[in-house]
Amino acid sequence: MVKIAVENAPATMADQLRNLSVHDERVRFWWLGQAGFTFFYKGRTLMIDPYLSDSLAEKYAGKEFDHVRMMPAPIQPEQVKNLNWLFCTHAHSDHTDPQSLPLLLRNNPECRIIASAAEIEGIQAIGLDTEKVIPANEGDTIDLAEDIGVSVIASAHEQIRTNEAGQHHFLGYIIRLGQFSVYHSGDCVPYPGLADKLRDKNIDLALMPVNGRNDYRTSRGIIGNFTFDKSFDLCRRLDIPLMMCHHFGMFRFNTIDPEVLRCRIEQLGAGESVFIPEPNERYSLSK
């Protein structure tokens, strides 16, 4: 049985990453806020959708949705060393951050970006070297190292969108780290066929959005996601043993109260399988 442990790690995230052993075969990970996560496995580090700046607060200052952070970034881009892979699920700035990504790549010149083939021009527009990009599309299986790889599926945010070449703009990633498989949905709502695409992937942990959607936000261009109940239902139907919530706690206009989540998890009796991450907490996977 796969389990998540909350590890005692009083140091900052930067110090934790620096002090982990390259020989340790446990999968360690941290929540970065919003949909962002960092994973460490056998001396290799990958990030998914790191939003570590205030770029959106600067962009939307004085607007209806000001995008002021509710939580500080647990690590600064210049503190990240030995980053091997950087995954972007789609082009929205809280997932492909125009301030964080150039700094991360500057400090980690060997790092490679896994991003939608449909978004290569957007990657170039924020100043990133497209030669560092591994273009991805639904159906791709990419081997990154001997025991690390990724399978790519489409996400619907709130719709599935492709370009003229049939390349998907919104992606989800099933990342293999040794004996573990982790699904990151990106921004997504339930859509026909999603469960079938995930069914035989032996997913141990699903990283799922829980902020949902409503007519008010949608009418103002704030595109929605899975609700908590829809995320939980998908994991339950597919026998995915562990779920970790994301896409909350960053912007006041587009979040859900963690206490509401805790109450719902308690109602469902899911306290050992569903987790609400905390900034600076370190988690590990074990079987």
pLDDT digits (tens, 9 = 90+) for 55-76: 999 999 999 999 999 999 999 9
Does residue 205 fall inside a structural domain?
Answer: yes
Question: pTM here?
Answer: 0.96
Buried b (16+ CB within 10 A) or exposed e, 51-77: bbbbbbeeeeeeeeeebebeeebbbeb
Q: Which two tokens stand for residue 205?
A: 């942990």
Q: Is residue 283 part of a domain?
A: no
Q: Which of 28, 59, 51, 81 is nearest to 281 (CA)?
A: 28
Residue 65 to residue 281: CA distance in whole angstroms: 29
| Residue 221 scores a pLDDT above 90 | no
Residue 286 lies in a domain: no
Nearest partner of 231 among 187, 266, 193, 196, judged by Cα? 187
Average pLDDT, the chain: 95
Indicate whether 54 belongs to any domain: yes
Pick from 4-8, 81-85, 149-153, 188-192: least confident? 4-8
Instruction: Give the per-residue pLDDT at 195.
Output: 97
Contact between 256 and 212 (Cβ < 8 Å): yes
Q: Is the pLDDT assigned to residue 21 strictly greater than 90?
A: no
CATH number at residue 204: 3.60.15.10
Residue 275, both tokens: 């987790």
Q: Average the pLDDT over 281-285 and give the result.
A: 95
Instruction: Give the rounded percent of residues in the chain with a pLDDT score beyond 90.
Output: 88
Angle at 12 between CA 6 and CA 16, to 5 degrees: 65
The pLDDT assigned to 158 comes to: 87
Domain-embedded: residue 284: no
**Residue numbers of the domain that contains 68:** 3-276
pLDDT: is 115 or 219 the higher one? 115
**Phi, psi at residue 248, to the nearest 5°?**
-150, 165
- Indicate if the pLDDT at residue 280 is higher than 90: no
Whether residue 33 is contained in a domain is answered as yes
Beta-sheet pairing, 274-275 with 242-246: parallel
Instruction: Look at residue 103 in the predicted model and tell me its pLDDT.
Output: 97
How many folded domains does the chain comprise? 1
- pLDDT-derived band at 217 (thresholds 50, 70, 90) equals confident
CB neighbours of residue 188 within 10 Å: 29
